[in-house]
Amino acid sequence: MRFTAESTRQRLIEPDLTSMVDVVFLLIIFFVTTSSFVRMTRADLQLTEVPGEEGPESTTPGLVINIESDGNFIVDGEDIDFDRMMNMIAVEIEKVGGEAQSLDVVVRADRSAPLLHINHLAQGMIDQGVRSWRLATRVPPGAVRTGGGR
């Protein structure tokens, strides 16, 4: 029988993967909830096809307003009337420090929505001090965007 010294045995050290598994699960949860929020703010609309131009990305909190083909306004997946939407815009202005110019508003209008509703919304935002907003469009297949703000 041969005895070997304790120090000469090879020891296998297995890495502890618990922390890595925790981080992976947190990342999965983050991306699932984020993608759900993005889908919630965007209604299923047929946007107008325009090549458009790329502008600088906004870093301020924003508001996405959807206008359906029948003129209904949808914000965060909920149908709202015009007066309530104006109140929501006022609340968003307060969230950005009361400066309406720094509020980022994106209007997503269905291509068959009457312009009357878009103009009414634009006038309501002007009355509250919002002077700049973006109208979302869909880039047609094969179109090339021009570099506007970058």
For residue range 95-108, what is the model confidence (pLDDT) as tens digits? Answer: 888 887 778 888 88
Query: What is the tens place of the pLDDT at every residue in 14-64?
Result: 888 888 899 999 999 888 877 655 555 556 666 666 776 666 655 555 788
- The residues facing 64 across adjacent strands are 106
> Tens digits of per-residue pLDDT, 67-81?
888 888 888 888 899
β 78-80/73-75 pair status: antiparallel
Tally: H helices and E strands in the chain:
3, 7
Rounded-to-integer distance, Cα 136 and Cα 86, Å: 20
Q: Would you list the domain boundaries of the chain?
A: 53-140
**Angle formed by the axes of helices 82-95 and 115-127, nearest 10°:** 40
pLDDT tops 80 at residue 114? yes
Would you place residue 150 in the very low, low, confident or very high pLDDT band (cuts 50, 70, 90)? very low
pTM of the model: 0.59
Q: Are 123 and 82 in contact (CB under 8 A)?
A: no
Q: What per-residue confidence (pLDDT) applies to 62?
A: 74
Measured between alpha carbons, how far apart are the two ends of the chain, in Å? 78
Whole-angstrom distance, CA of residue 131 vs CA of residue 123: 10
- To the question of domain 53-140 being in CATH 3.30.420.270, the answer is yes
